[in-house]
């Protein structure tokens, strides 16, 4: 065990040396490597230096960086940077979203792509790991400006993707509008109706039912499974939810369907706490139709709601918490606050939203903690189901897709829970998810040789 830990520590140091100024990627790799020592002891073939399996797993198969010039409504030309990191295809074509946000850089895209490898493996579906995006900010831009940007972005990206190669989807800043513009440009350039090249499409032209809801729904379903193991349910519990985008909205919806009361939502300006529970229809009107801020929700909701500027939702006492906005949004102090308030479970709807120290505090306090690579895998799971529907040129009912999603989330919970117990870490979903995902990818890599 000590030799394995020493080797993994040396590998981690080498990865950080070779990938400078990429803290999110370093964090994601460290979190996985810290859990793998017992696997190397049990399965020495994974640690064989002759095949360098972990070294290959932590190095992307391909990293693509490109210029994205586009023209705004005043005729001014802007230049953004586009990215696609095709990380690992041992289990299937690269699969992972596109993020349009000013914070996007190569390190952020690599962290997301690395996480995606294990998340996709946990679904049990035939998809590899990748991620992409741009430092373009769609906020405040007209539909015409967003369209021109997406067309320029796809003009370069199209040569690297395809339904058997790499299948992007949406992420922060990339919703149905952006996917539509991207798909239109792909079709224009290639002269092919290749529906399976992008997921998250409109339901009337190749998209899947439940895809917009899938990540939020899945996060809640995973939380329900964690509570079920402990003899509890969501019914009657209060919840804090961060964010106000797609993931947060459908986390709120599924919580309400299962009898819980979500009290909060947030954006970069602050958060809203609504003692009656979030009015989802009003939130969606403000965010999706008007593209406004959560402050406007509070102004229109009435006396039950108040807006708290420049603070985070974790100070609101609740039974369960769903970080559903962005990476590292829940830190150590937030974790202590949640523990002091008696939180029972935390389920990550976003990618790596909880800092490593915060995770340790929650786990040491006995809080059920669902890591993003397991808890938020519902989105990519339904994306893979969309690919299946596209391949057969069929459309499944919403009921069938939701049943499939629920079965996949139960399976992910079961394999993470069982794997954690098998490796001597009962109840540790971080260890269980990391090892279960790693074993599936590693076995495929060993079978396919050194490539």
Domains with residue ranges and CATH for the chain: 2-57 (no CATH), 62-194 (3.40.50.10860), 214-375 (3.40.50.720)
The answer on pLDDT for 76 being more than 80 is: yes
pLDDT tens by residue, 360-417: 999 999 999 999 999 999 999 999 999 999 999 999 999 999 999 999 999 999 999 9
Rounded distance between C-alpha atoms, residue 387 and residue 399, angstroms: 17
Written as six digits, the tokens of 254 are 């599924």
Rounded distance between C-alpha atoms, residue 349 and residue 321, angstroms: 10
- Quote the distance between the C-alpha of residue 215 and its chain's center: 8
For residue 343, CA distances in Å to 1, 320, 352 come to: 34, 5, 19
Written as six digits, the tokens of 229 are 């193991």
82 - beta bridge partners? 66, 134
> What's the pLDDT at 25?
97
Mean pLDDT of 274-282: 98
> What's the pLDDT at 6?
85
Rounded distance between C-alpha atoms, residue 278 and residue 253, angstroms: 9
Residues marked active site are found at 131
> What's the pLDDT at 46?
95
- Quote the distance between the C-alpha of residue 283 and its chain's center: 22
pLDDT tens by residue, 125-165: 999 999 999 999 999 999 999 999 999 999 999 999 999 99
Give the closest residue to 242 by CA, choosing from 324, 297, 298.
324
Residues 6+ positions from 431 with CB-CB distance below 8 Å: 35, 419, 420, 423, 425
pLDDT tens by residue, 79-129: 999 999 999 999 999 999 999 999 999 999 999 999 999 999 999 999 999
Q: Label residue 1 by pLDDT band (50, 70, 90).
A: low
The answer on pLDDT for 307 being more than 90 is: yes
Q: Label residue 4 by pLDDT band (50, 70, 90).
A: confident
pLDDT tens by residue, 184-235: 999 999 999 999 999 999 999 999 999 999 999 999 999 999 999 999 999 9
The answer on pLDDT for 32 being more than 70 is: yes
Rounded distance between C-alpha atoms, residue 221 and residue 225, angstroms: 6
CA dihedral 380, 384, 389, 391 (to 10 degrees): 140
Rounded distance between C-alpha atoms, residue 172 and residue 140, angstroms: 15
> What's the pLDDT at 2?
65
Q: Label residue 8 by pLDDT band (50, 70, 90).
A: confident
Written as six digits, the tokens of 87 are 């990380």
Mean pLDDT of 424-447: 98
Q: What pTM did the predictor assign?
A: 0.95
Mean pLDDT of the chain: 97
Written as six digits, the tokens of 212 are 């917009």
**Which ranges of 242-353 does DSSP label H, i.e. alpha helix?**
246-257, 280-284, 294-301, 332-340
The DSSP bridge pattern shows strands 270-274 and 261-262 to be unpaired
Is residue 359 within 8 A of residue 279, CB to CB? The reply is no
pLDDT tens by residue, 314-342: 999 999 999 999 999 999 999 999 999 99
Alpha-carbon Rg for the chain in angstroms: 21
């Amino acid at each position: 065990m000590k030799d394995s830990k020493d080797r993994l520590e040396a590998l981690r140091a080498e990865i950080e040396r070779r990938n400078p100024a990429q803290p999110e990627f370093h964090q994601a790799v460290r979190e996985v490597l810290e859990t793998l020592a017992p696997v190397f002891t049990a399965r020495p073939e994974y640690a064989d230096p002759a095949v360098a399996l972990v070294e290959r797993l932590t190095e992307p198969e391909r990293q693509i960086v490109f210029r994205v010039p586009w023209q705004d409504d005043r005729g001014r030309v802007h230049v953004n940077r586009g990215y696609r990191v095709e990380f690992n295809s041992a289990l299937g074509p690269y699969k992972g979203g596109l993020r349009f946000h000013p914070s996007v850089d190569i390190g952020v895209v690599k962290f997301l792509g690395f996480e995606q490898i294990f998340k996709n493996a946990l679904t049990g579906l035939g998809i590899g790991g990748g991620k992409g995006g741009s430092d373009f900010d769609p906020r405040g831009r007209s539909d015409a400006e967003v369209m021109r940007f997406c067309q320029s972005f796809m003009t370069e990206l199209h040569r690297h993707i395809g339904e058997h190669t790499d299948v992007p989807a949406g992420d922060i800043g990339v919703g149905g509008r952006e996917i539509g513009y991207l798909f239109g440009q792909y079709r224009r350039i290639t002269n092919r109706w290749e529906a399976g090249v992008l997921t998250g499409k409109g339901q009337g032209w190749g998209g899947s039912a439940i895809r917009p809801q899938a990540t939020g729904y899945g996060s809640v379903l995973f939380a329900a499974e964690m509570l079920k193991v402990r003899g509890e349910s969501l019914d009657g519990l209060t919840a804090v939810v961060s964010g106000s985008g797609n993931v947060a909205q459908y986390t709120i919806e599924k919580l309400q369907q299962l009898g819980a009361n979500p009290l909060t939502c947030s954006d970069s300006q602050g958060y809203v706490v609504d003692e009656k529970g979030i009015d989802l229809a009003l939130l969606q009107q403000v965010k999706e139709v008007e593209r406004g801020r959560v402050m406007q929700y509070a102004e229109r909701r009435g006396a039950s709601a108040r807006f708290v500027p420049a603070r985070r939702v974790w100070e609101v006492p609740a039974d369960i918490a769903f970080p559903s906005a962005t990476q590292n949004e829940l830190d150590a102090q937030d974790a202590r606050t949640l523990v002091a308030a008696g939180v029972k479970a935390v389920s990550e709807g976003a990618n790596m939203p909880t800092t490593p120290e915060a995770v340790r505090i929650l786990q040491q306090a006995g809080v059920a903690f669902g890591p993003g690579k397991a808890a938020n895998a519902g989105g990519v799971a339904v994306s893979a189901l969309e690919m299946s529907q596209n391949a057969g040129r069929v459309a499944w009912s919403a009921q069938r897709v939701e049943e499939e999603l629920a079965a996949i989330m139960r399976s992910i919970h079961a394999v993470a829970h069982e794997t954690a117990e098998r490796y001597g870490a009962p109840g540790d979903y971080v260890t269980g998810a990391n090892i279960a995902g790693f074993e599936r990818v590693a076995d495929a890599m060993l079978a396919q040789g050194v490539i």
